[in-house]
Amino acid sequence: MSPLRQIDVAVITGGDPDEELFRRIRDRSGRFELFPFPDPPDRIRRTMGQHAYPLVFLDARQSMHGAEPVVSPLASASPSSTIVLVVEDASLLADSTRERYLESGVSAFLEPADLSDDRVLSRLIAMTLGFARRISEFSRYRKMVDHTQDVITLLGPDGRIEFESPSVREVLGYDPDELIGRDPFELVHEDDRTDVRNMYLAERFIDGASRAVEYRFRHGDGSWRTLESRAKVFLENGGAP
Per-residue model confidence as pLDDT tens digits over 3-27:
555 677 878 876 666 667 787 777 7
Residue type, 120: V
CATH at residue 186: 3.30.450.20
Determine the Cα–Cα distance for residues 194 and 213; give it in Å rounded to an integer.
11
Domain boundary among 118, 144, 170: 144
**83 class by beta-carbon count within 10 Å (0-12 exposed, 13-18 middle, 19+ buried):** buried
Whole-number Cα distances in Å, 154 to 122, 146, 158, 172, 176: 31, 14, 11, 16, 11
Residues 109 and 168 in one domain: no
Determine the Cα–Cα distance for residues 148 and 144; give it in Å rounded to an integer.
7
Residue 92's pLDDT is 84
Domain boundary among 95, 122, 144: 144
Domain range for 182 is 146-229
Domain boundary among 99, 117, 144: 144
Residue 222's pLDDT is 95
Domains identified in the chain, total number? 2
Per-residue model confidence as pLDDT tens digits over 191-202:
999 888 887 776
Q: What residues of the chain score a pLDDT lower than 50?
A: 1, 205, 207-208, 237-241
CATH at residue 135: 3.40.50.2300
Domain membership flag for residue 241: no
Residue 212's pLDDT is 79
